A and B are shown apart, each in its own frame.
Chain A
Amino acid sequence: MPRMNAAQRHGVEFTLNGRKVRAEAENRMLLSDLLRHEIGLTGTHVGCEHGVCGACTVQIDGKPARACLTLAQQVRGSDVRTVEALAPGPAELSPLQAAFRRHHGLQCGFCTPGILMSLDALLRDQPDAGREDIREHLSGHLCRCTGYATIVEAALAAAEEQRKEETTNA
């Protein structure tokens, strides 16, 4: 890691949603602020800035991570994925997103991007995830609108759909 001066901005290069990006950031800048205010991807939301609510969750090298507890400089060379990358096309939804819509898994939608990023990683890493796995991963997120039940149902439906599709493709 190069030596960096706190008083000036330093370049940070990484892959964001499949494309190489280069941005400038002070050492103390959070990844959440870099994504939202320097790059302009505002889908990642900031709810607490102390790692509890989970709204800012993104995927760094495939693993869910709190963007508010990550310094921008820490993602040099990494592969970062945000909610903007989930849909397969501009007028389409991913199976997980579509299930959220079908099951009313969101109301205000503020916590939703973080929840989607956690559950997307879970369903990719653990295609056989069941209700308890989903609850376990969802427990790292706070939602004040839904009471969670419809989120669990949406995730279960998406997991089921994903398994069916894999059987069909196999």
Chain B
Amino acid sequence: MTRLETAGGLIGRTVQRVEDAGLLTGRGRYIDDLPVRRDTAHLAILRSPHGHAEIRAIDTTAARALPGIFAVLTGEDVARLTRSMTVGVKANVECWPIARDRVRYVGEPVALVVAENRYVAEDALDLIEVEYERLIAIVDPEKALAADAPVLHPSLGTNLINERSFRYGDPEAALATADHRISIRIAYPRNSCTPIETYGVIADYDPGEDAYDVTANFQGPFSIHAVISRALNVPGNRMRLRTPPDSGGSFGIKQGVFPYVILAAVAARVAGRPVKWIEDRLEHLTASVSATNRVTTLEAAVAADGRITALCWDQLEDCGAHLRAPEPATLYRMHGNMTGAYAIENVAIRNRVVLTNKTPTGLNRGFGGPQVYFALERLVHKIADELGLDRLAVIRRNLVPADAFPYRTATGGLLDSGDYQTAIDRACAEGGLEALKLRRDSARAEGRLYGIGYATVVEPSVSNMGYITTVLTPEERAKAGPKNGAQSVATVAIDPLGSVTVKVASVPQGQGHRTVLAQVVAERLGLPLEAVCVNTELDTARDAWSIASGNYASRFAAAVAGAASLAADRIRDRLAAIAASQLNVTADRVEFKAGKLFDRDNPDNAISFGRVAAASHWAPGTLPDGNVQTIRETVFWTPEQLEAPTAADGINSSLCHGFIFDICGVEIDRATGQVRIDRYVTMHDCGRILHPGMVEGQVRGGFAQAVGAALYEEYAYGSDGSFLPGTLADYLIPTVMETPEPLILHHETPSPFTPLGAKGVGEGNCMSTPVCIANAVADALGVEDIRLPLSPSRVSEWLYAEERPSSKPRDVAPVATGASGERLLTGAGSADVVATRQSVWTMLLDPNTLKAIIPGAHEVRKVSDTHFRAEVTLGIGPVKGRYRADIRLSDMIAPEAVTLSGGTEGALGSGRGTGRVTLTETATGTRIDYRYEAAIGGKVASVGGRLLDGAARVVIGQFFQALARHAGGGAPPSAAAGFIQRLANLFRRRG
């Protein structure tokens, strides 16, 4: 068990976490573990299989009829009880948590089912029939800007939802007079930090008070509470939002649960009972949130000695199908530090936000940093290479001078503290850079591919809640009123027995906030760690909170722990005054240590903490004159440095700015293209360290996620809008085998702006590590256009150029790609059956026969004489899935010819096609000829083309062979077999 910590000196020590005993023994209380009312029902969500389609009709009749179903809701049902969610820019566009007339991304909610349990709810999803009219999907942000691109939101008339240009200093003059102009173009991919616990919501509605009560593993920011309340059309005090005691990780992602808070709340209202929803992993990957993908062009004006005099940014941000709050924050969070660790006077920025047929984006660890620093730090490497300078020398030449802090950046940021030069010198020395260079040189001498990369990053933390208003023009801002600051809140309370409880609105997701807060408050009050109890559950109906509350932007150590320290100090001052009167000394002589208050000059003159602390409860009348209660003290703290954007668009987007310098050595396997991280050094300045063990944990965790982003992970989309990595077998999260061990170093320069001198540390490696690895790979391969993730297949393309198509001629028509990016297949074949033409014709139109002969069919229903619906399970290569087929007959010439056309839809993909079937009488029966043309999209389309073509031919062939068998004839793979079959049939018929 935990050793009793002595009072004092708790801050800065690696104490054991108070959270762990419960979590290690299975007593955690995550959202799916919480007790619920006995009549709680379960929600399941029908989601779009298409990237872009009109919804023609939704038939929920069969689903409603299923026993155990309490409610089925469509987008229109939800819209009747809610309002569109607030959009963060001025644009004529609505933003609903569920599709209404159109689906715009794979996984977009289309219908909700509330049932007695999740199993039955999912049964009902299978019974909902949605008729879609597919539209061309657009997934490439640059193509989405084309004049003829399909438009996602007709009311907007374009996919470009926001554009702003900024100018600081005189970038044009700097470019015009520069010795060199060097630029780089980056396409940064989508990825997600994917917590192991998925989203969860438990919602209830009280019609008597028109009030919602929702528990969700939401992480903040609680500015989103306003979005939820407005969408649900209730005042904020009738939208009670609570968070569970434990959360299974977030990394930003659980901000994105809020549209489901709205859906579950409405579902509970309609169903008339509490509703619980736990997202499954497939839903999470497809449709939770991810980081943005971004196309950046960055140009620098550079002097001959490598000094950068101007930066010109052109950023095209892809926020997916809807601009959901707080987007486009990913694009603006870095605005104050767009010059990174460098002193660059002149900056131009053009920011465009585009909508595409992808899942809406949201918070993700690093939030905007990976995209910015990938461009900036790749460019700094490139500048050194083009000018023939040492890369580290170029970095050093441009650093903000150590004596310049606090340093105002060109774009308005205020870098609080740092000594970047010393941190880099120490990283090179303690990280063994010279030895690493020798290692590289000897590897290269042996013909191996080895490279070294660097990355220099300023890590912002504690977001200014006003930075997002930089997206508005100064005139729009003036009209809307200033937005700024970041209220953090902490309460310290003392009960009648004199024990201390701390309450904060920080909503931890596994970081150990309770431990650090106990350290901070125990130290301030001279108590042992165990004497302080910390509660981090948040309840908007009871607790102190504000819009900045929550767990994001690495704000805990700098802001929340600081607020707790201030609250403890206020209580401490009052306790000192009470003790002073009892000890007959002045208050400034009272010290707090080991659970006692005593006279500094005469430690024997002491009184127990509990006795003084309880006085406000038991004997308030005895408190010294003017002394107010010590029962409860709540501190709201917002730093003065977080000002609103200036009229010139200057913005101090974050309070604190940590520093990171990384060195990476990689070796690339020439045969496989595998990138192996040979050595990684990461130097951090996160100000004062409150708990070294947790800081190490944050760095290692962020680093592991960054390794995933650099080498393995991508939320990739097919050109038809299909989502490709739909399972954890496709979306490759590093295991212990893929996670190298970094050398972690620290150089502390305390922040002058935070109560404890601490800065954020949790996100830095997500910003620095991807580009550091990319720089090392660029160094190893001499390739400029480094794209993530650096998978072996991609690296192999750089090593060996792209794989050329086989020179062997193929015996089928070439596969073309359709307008919407589907694979097009064509084929033809024939089968002979020993049945009359009329009987074959009848079979083709009979659902029972069709059920028997359609491969994998579970059910075939006749909707009308020319319309059938079927449920089939098909396996194509490794991908086995259930599909719903809709078949229509046309151009019928009975009993000679018919055209079958239709489509299939399933979670794994979709297909549509037409086939012409001709029946000809022969000597022995009937010959069936068929030709087909089919298009396949979705996940199955990502299966290798040859496999898919082959599988389609087999499936279609099976259908006609089965028809032949059913008709009593033999399908002839060879003439001999057909002959024997015919003979056998002849005998059977006679017998």
Q: Interface on A for B, CB 8 Å cutoff? A: 26, 28-29, 36, 41-50, 52-53, 55, 82-84, 86-87, 91, 93, 97, 100-102, 104, 106-113, 116, 135, 138-152
Question: B736 to A108, Cβ gap below 8 A?
Answer: no
Whole-angstrom distance between the Cβ of A71 and the nearest chain B Cβ:
12
Which residues of A are found within 8 Å of B24, using beta-carbon distances? 83, 86-87, 93, 97, 100-101, 106, 109, 112, 116
Question: A47 to B197, Cβ gap below 8 A?
Answer: yes
The 3 closest A-B pairs by CB, nearest first: A43-B26, A108-B510, A110-B248
Question: A84 to B196, Cβ gap below 8 A?
Answer: no
Question: B728 to A48, Cβ gap below 8 A?
Answer: yes
Question: A84 to B735, Cβ gap below 8 A?
Answer: no
Q: A45-B248, A86-B25 are in contact. Are A104 and B697 (CB under 8 A)?
A: yes
Whole-angstrom distance between the Cβ of A118 and the nearest chain B Cβ:
12
Whole-angstrom distance between the Cβ of A129 and the nearest chain B Cβ:
14
C-alpha spacing A49/B279, complex, angstroms: 11
Contact residue among A43, A53, A104, A143 (Cβ-Cβ distance under 8 Å from B27): A43
Q: A48-B281, A108-B509, A112-B24 are in contact. Are A149 and B700 (CB under 8 A)?
A: yes
Residue of A41, A107, A135, A149 ringed by the most chain B CB atoms within 10 A? A107
C-alpha spacing A52/B735, complex, angstroms: 11
Question: A109 to B281, Cβ gap below 8 A?
Answer: no
Residue of A55, A106, A141 ringed by the most chain B CB atoms within 10 A? A106
Which residues of A are found within 8 Å of B280, using beta-carbon distances? 49
Contact residue among A102, A142, A150 (Cβ-Cβ distance under 8 Å from B733): A142
B694 at the interface (CB under 8 A from A): yes
Which candidate, B370-378, B701-709, B805-813, B877-885, is the interface stretch facing chain A? Answer: B701-709
Contact residue among A41, A101, A107, A151 (Cβ-Cβ distance under 8 Å from B26): A41
C-alpha spacing A53/B732, complex, angstroms: 11
Q: A100-B24, A110-B249 are in contact. Are A150 and B736 (CB under 8 A)?
A: no
Question: B510 to A109, Cβ gap below 8 A?
Answer: yes
Contact sample, A vs B, 8 pairs, CB 8 Å cutoff: A43-B26, A86-B24, A109-B248, A135-B737, A139-B735, A139-B736, A144-B194, A148-B739
Minimal Cβ-Cβ distance residue in A for B35: A40
Whole-angstrom distance between the Cβ of A54 and the nearest chain B Cβ:
9
Q: Interface on B for A, CB 8 Å cutoff? A: 1, 14, 16-17, 19-21, 23-28, 30, 32-33, 119, 193-198, 246-249, 251, 280-282, 509-512, 693-694, 696-697, 700-701, 703-705, 727-729, 733, 735-737, 739, 741
Residue of A26, A108, A143 ringed by the most chain B CB atoms within 10 A? A108
Question: A108 to B25, Cβ gap below 8 A?
Answer: no
C-alpha spacing A50/B741, complex, angstroms: 29
C-alpha spacing A104/B696, complex, angstroms: 10
Minimal Cβ-Cβ distance residue in A for B736: A148
Minimal Cβ-Cβ distance residue in A for B285: A48
Which residues of B are found within 8 Å of A145, using beta-carbon distances? 249, 510, 697, 701
Contact residue among B1, B21, B737 (Cβ-Cβ distance under 8 Å from A139): B737
Which residues of B are found within 8 Å of A36, using beta-carbon distances? 32-33
Which residues of B are found within 8 Å of A42, using beta-carbon distances? 26, 28, 30, 32-33
C-alpha spacing A144/B16, complex, angstroms: 20
C-alpha spacing A76/B720, complex, angstroms: 47
Contact residue among B697, B703, B729, B735 (Cβ-Cβ distance under 8 Å from A141): B735
Residue of A55, A93, A101, A110 ringed by the most chain B CB atoms within 10 A? A110
Whole-angstrom distance between the Cβ of A110 and the nearest chain B Cβ:
3
Q: A47-B197, A102-B16, A144-B705 are in contact. Are A108 and B247 (CB under 8 A)?
A: yes
Question: A83 to B701, Cβ gap below 8 A?
Answer: no
Residue of B30, B282, B697 ringed by the most chain A CB atoms within 10 A? B697
Q: A47-B281, A108-B510 are in contact. Are A148 and B704 (CB under 8 A)?
A: yes
Whole-angstrom distance between the Cβ of B713 and the nearest chain A Cβ:
11
Which residues of B are found within 8 Å of A53, using beta-carbon distances? 196, 281, 728
Minimal Cβ-Cβ distance residue in A for B728: A52
Question: B249 to A108, Cβ gap below 8 A?
Answer: yes
Q: A104-B696, A143-B196, A146-B697 are in contact. Are A109 and B20 (CB under 8 A)?
A: yes
C-alpha spacing A43/B20, complex, angstroms: 13
Question: A138 to B694, Cβ gap below 8 A?
Answer: no
Which residues of B are found within 8 Å of A102, using beta-carbon distances? 16
Q: A109-B246, A110-B196, A139-B735 are in contact. Are A104 and B26 (CB under 8 A)?
A: no
Q: A107-B249, A138-B735, A144-B249 are in contact. Are A45 and B197 (CB under 8 A)?
A: yes
C-alpha spacing A41/B739, complex, angstroms: 32
Minimal Cβ-Cβ distance residue in A for B284: A48
Minimal Cβ-Cβ distance residue in B for A142: B733
C-alpha spacing A38/B249, complex, angstroms: 25
Whole-angstrom distance between the Cβ of A25 and the nearest chain B Cβ:
11
C-alpha spacing A169/B963, complex, angstroms: 74
C-alpha spacing A63/B241, complex, angstroms: 42
Minimal Cβ-Cβ distance residue in A for B253: A144
Which residues of B are found within 8 Å of A28, using beta-carbon distances? 119
